[in-house]
Amino acid sequence: WRSGALVEQRELTQWFFKITDYADELLRDLDTLTNWPEKVRLMQANWIGRSEGMLIRWALDAKTAPSDANELEVYTTRPDTLFGASFLAVAADHPLAKLASEKNAALAEFCDECRRLGTSVADIEAAEKRGFDTGIRAVHPFDKTWLLPVYVANFVLMEYGTGAIFGCPSGDQRDMDFARRYELPVVPVILPAGEDAATFTLKNNAYEDDGVMINSRFLDGKSTKDAFEEAASRLEKQKLSGRPQGARKVNFRLRDWGISRQRYWGCPIPVVHCKACGVVPVAAKDLPIKLPDDATFDKPGNPLDRHPTWKHTTCPKCAKPAVRETDTMDTFVDSSWYYVRFTAPQAATPVDKEAAQYWLPVDQYIGGVEHAILHLLYSRFFARAMCDTGHLKFAGNTREPFSALFTQGMVTHETYKSTDGYWMLPNEVRFEGEGAQRHAVEAASGRPVTIGAIEKMSKSKKNLVDPDDIIAHYGADCARWFMLSDSPPERDVIWTEAGVGGAGRFVQRVWRIVEEIADTFPLDDKTAKPATFSSEALGVRKAAHRALDQVGKAIEGLRFNVAVANIHEFTNVLQAGLTKPGADMAWAAREAARFLVMMIGPMMPHLSEECWARLGYNTLLANEAWPEAEAGLLVDDQVTIAVQVNGKRRDELVISRSAASGEVEAAALALEPVIRALEGRPVKKVIVVPQRIVNVVG
């Protein structure tokens, strides 16, 4: 239904949000989003695509121009290169192209051809730069005697700038390609640093960077930046038909947001079309407009448009029969402000400003990078628009909906296709062989299966793994633990169950340790903390407190795989400690068990509550505060420092934490491997980094 007359008709009633009004602010405020990934900020900046340039009006030579066309306005970011101009070009849809086509059948044909091609990315890539000389000549703004040809060119976009450009082949690769094809002059106007003006020439590569102006009359010798300023201010002062010939202009790549969809599944756009009153908004009391329950989907096209009764209503203004808008909104509209609604989901009005002000902005937003541009830009726009319409107010002076953003990776998996071309679930497939011999067959029939690319898990390609299988076998906590331990959350993961067994063993191990400690050292609030600890017990305590510190920080930083590794490490120490019983170890072990259970809590909630109860507590672990690590247990009196000779590690040294540099140096130089590595050479220099490393240079 997107072809033919219907599209024309639709064009007239397309609905847009004026996101371009916020282009500058959306771009500028990206700098304030310091807790957003650089990548996403960059993608948004590129998408908004701000460029500073000029609109320049060129007079058309009366002898060659159509009678009702006497000037052509172009957009450029490089007024400095005006003396390198060798042609002008307009888009096939440009009014001047249409005007010129009226008396030129060949030109009209060329314009048609341009319109047919050049829509898809692939077309553009393949398309050569082609043009058609309209015969019209334009007058150079700085030289009345200099006439330039005006072409229609397939690489000029009507949607950007004015749909017309001036071509400077020496300074722009596209213009260069065009000039070489149509044998237009190529005049270098910018001399790169280190080049000689007398010998500098360009072959088929344009020089697009900065330099010193040449062949440019009054601009000669200026820097690119100064030349821009000079040319711009002259054009601003210079008049053409009584108006300034040039005007500075900021242009954006960002377009307005077309929200009209010809689909059933979306919020209806709440307006009515009345023959007498025109487009009339639906009264607030009649909102929301509900979709009909009896839509049919048996034919292509918009079910709302062909529904027998739904669209027929009366005009809110004059009460005469009128027709509802049958376009519905893009679903991105809903996702652009749900976070505001979520602060007061029961509110009678769309937004409870007080609740929104209390909760927003969102502290930590987590989502896939696929939303980097559309959803996240629309949401930033909506937050601002809602502030301006009085629907929303933020507590601070920000207008950003999401303070911090984290982009998680995707879960990917191999894809499988049967011989008849159907996608197959991984659990319908059996594997044989290894390495290059590895191949797949249908588990049920033994028929061969093609192993396809590793792709993002999707229902359509069926490369899905059902977590129920893992949950049934190992439990939900184990599934969670395994996923968190596997790789950092920002990275894509190729899903594999290899390793889930290890997570299962860890779950069992935690339970065994907790049982052992609960049985051997039952909860007894009266047991006083021992005055001193054996070195083993102290070791357990240090490991416990260090883990608490590390795991807390890792979780805060969303580095869950590191948190898991830290817990593993600590568990290993605790388990070894249990083989050396004693009153002080009992106390240390109980403390350690309590910490262990608390640390796994966020990642294995069921197991940890079970363990918590097993340790004798009759509270909910979920209500417990994260314990504070004792600072004194986080540092050792003795530190191990590496000893290098000429940057190569030769030995290590255990020494008092507070040892003076001289002391450390002496101890390092006395080490036998150090003496050996020096091979009798004198020591030139010794670098001592306290508590870290010694480097002997010799």
Partner RNA sequence: GCGGACGUGGUGGAAUGGUAGACACACAGGACUUAAAAUCCUGAGUUCGAAAGAGCGUGAGGGUUCGAGUCCCUCCGUCCGCACCA
Rounded alpha-carbon distances, angstroms, from residue 80 to 210, 212, 377, 485: 10, 11, 34, 57
Residue from 244, 501, 522, 662 binding RNA (CB under 7 A): 501
Q: Which stretch binds RNA (CB under 7 A): 134-142, 159-167, 228-236, 350-358?
A: 159-167
Helices 605-614, 500-520: axis angle to 10 degrees equals: 20
Q: Are 366 and 408 in contact (CB under 8 A)?
A: yes
Identity of the residue, 360 or 510, whose beta carbon is nearer to RNA in the bound complex: 510
Q: In whole angstroms, give the CA distance from residue 42 to residue 271.
A: 37
The answer to whether the CB of 408 falls within 8 A of the CB of 487 is no
CB of 644 to RNA, least distance (A): 6
Of residues 284 and 498, the one with the C-beta less far from RNA: 498
x/- site string to RNA, residues 347 to 376, per CB under 7 A?
A: ----------------------x--xx---
The least distance separating RNA from the CB of residue 676, rounded to whole angstroms, comes to 6
Nearest-approach distance from CB 561 to RNA, in angstroms: 5
Residues 379 and 399: their CA atoms lie apart, in Å, by 11
Helix H or strand E encompassing 413: strand 411-418
The correct pick among 13, 21, 29, 43 for binding RNA (CB under 7 A) is 43
Please identify, using beta-carbon distances, which residue of 132 and 506 lies nearer to RNA: 506
Instruction: Report phi then psi at 19, rounded to 5.
Output: -65, -25
H-type helices in 49-104, by residue range? 95-101
Q: Which one, 277 or 374, has the nearer CB to RNA?
A: 374
Burial of 537: CB neighbours in 10 Å, binned 0-12, 13-18, 19+: buried
- Kindly identify the residues of this chain, within the stretch 57-116, that bind RNA according to CB under 7 A: 75-78, 91
The verdict on 613 binding RNA (CB under 7 A) reads: no
d(CA 257, CA 382): 12
CA dist 552 and 560 (Å) reads 10
By the rule CB under 7 A, 124 interacts with RNA: yes
Tokens found for residue 621: 């672990």
Please report whether residue 379 would count as binding RNA according to CB under 7 A.
no
Nearest distance in Å: CB 513, RNA: 9
Task: Compute the distance between CA of residue 177 and CA of residue 184 in angstroms, rounded to an integer.
Answer: 10
Question: To 10 degrees, the CA torsion angle through 474, 476, 479, 480?
Answer: -150
Residues 9-38 interacting with RNA (rule: CB under 7 A): 38
Closest separation in Å from C-beta 661 to RNA: 13
Q: Which is nearer to RNA, 126 or 583 (CB)?
A: 126
Q: Which stretch binds RNA (CB under 7 A): 260-268, 273-281, 572-580, 661-669?
A: 572-580
Q: Which of 12, 121, 193, 319 binds RNA (CB under 7 A)?
A: 121
Contact 596, 571 (CB under 8 A): yes
The smaller minimum CB distance to RNA, of residues 124 and 583, is found at: 124
Determine how β-strand 493-494 pairs with β-strand 411-418: parallel
Structure tokens at 657: 């934490």
Restricting to residues 575-604, name those near RNA by CB under 7 A.
575-576
CB 312 within 8 A of CB 323: yes
Q: Which of 70, 93, 160, 270 binds RNA (CB under 7 A)?
A: 160
Q: Interacting stretch for RNA, rule CB under 7 A, among 3-11, 95-103, 160-168, 412-420?
A: 160-168
Helix/strand/coil percent split, the chain, to 5: 40, 20, 40
Taking the complex as a whole, the smallest distance from the CB of residue 622 to RNA amounts, in Å, to: 25
CB of 275 closer than 8 Å to CB of 314: no
Q: Which of residues 174-233 bind RNA (CB under 7 A)?
A: 174
- Closest CB to RNA among 152 and 641? 641
Regarding 637 and contact with RNA (CB under 7 A), the answer is: no
Would you call the peptide bond into 321 cis, given omega within 30 degrees of 0 as the criterion? no
Q: Give the nearer residue to RNA in terms of CB position, either 295 or 410.
A: 410
Contact criterion met (CB below 8 Å) for 164 and 94: yes
With contacts defined by CB under 7 A, name the span among 274-282, 339-347, 382-390, 644-652 that binds RNA: 644-652
Say whether residue 616 binds RNA (CB under 7 A): no
Judge whether 68 and 155 are in contact, CB under 8 Å. Answer: no
Closest CA to 668 of 681, 649, 636: 649
| Among residues 13, 51, 104, 357, the one that binds RNA under rule CB under 7 A | 51
Q: How far is the CB of 269 from RNA (least distance, A)?
A: 26
**Where does this chain touch RNA (CB under 7 A) — which range of 43-51, 328-336, 346-354, 605-613?**
43-51
Report the C-alpha gap between 174 and 154 in whole angstroms: 11
Residues in contact with RNA, shown as a per-residue x/- string from 380 to 419 under the rule CB under 7 A = ----------------------------------------
Of the candidate spans 8-16, 355-363, 422-430, 494-502, the one that interacts with RNA by CB under 7 A turns out to be 494-502
State the Cα–Cα distance between residues 185 and 214, nearest whole angstrom.
15
The yes or no reply on residue 689 touching RNA (CB under 7 A) is yes
* Nearest residue to 485 via CA among 499, 475, 471: 499
- Residue (36 or 264) nearer to RNA, CB: 36
Q: Catalogue the long-range contacts made by 7-14 (C-beta closer than 8 Å, 24 or more residues apart).
A: 10/260, 10/262, 13/260, 13/273, 13/325, 13/327, 14/258, 14/260, 14/327
Near RNA in 245-304, by CB under 7 A: 251, 253
Q: Pick one of 103, 473, 491, 606: the residue that binds RNA (CB under 7 A).
A: 491
Q: Which CB sits closer to RNA, 114 or 340?
A: 114
The CB-of-690 to RNA minimum distance in angstroms stands at 10
The count of residues interacting with RNA (CB under 7 A) is 82
CA distance 698 to 693: 16
Q: How far is the CB of 244 from RNA (least distance, A)?
A: 18
With CB under 7 A as the contact rule, the residue among 8, 11, 68, 125 that binds RNA is 125
Q: Which of 57, 380, 559, 594 binds RNA (CB under 7 A)?
A: 559
Q: Which of residues 665-684 bind RNA (CB under 7 A)?
A: 673, 676-677
Helix axes 500-520, 560-577, angle to 10 degrees: 40
* Cβ-based nearer residue to RNA, 393 or 461: 461
Nearest residue (CB) to RNA, 264 versus 378: 378
Find the binder of RNA among 10, 115, 568, 580 (CB under 7 A).
568
Q: Which is nearer to RNA, 125 or 196 (CB)?
A: 125
Q: Figure out which of the listed residues 444, 648, 679, 680 binds RNA, where binding follows CB under 7 A.
A: 648
Residue 248: both structure tokens together: 């500075």
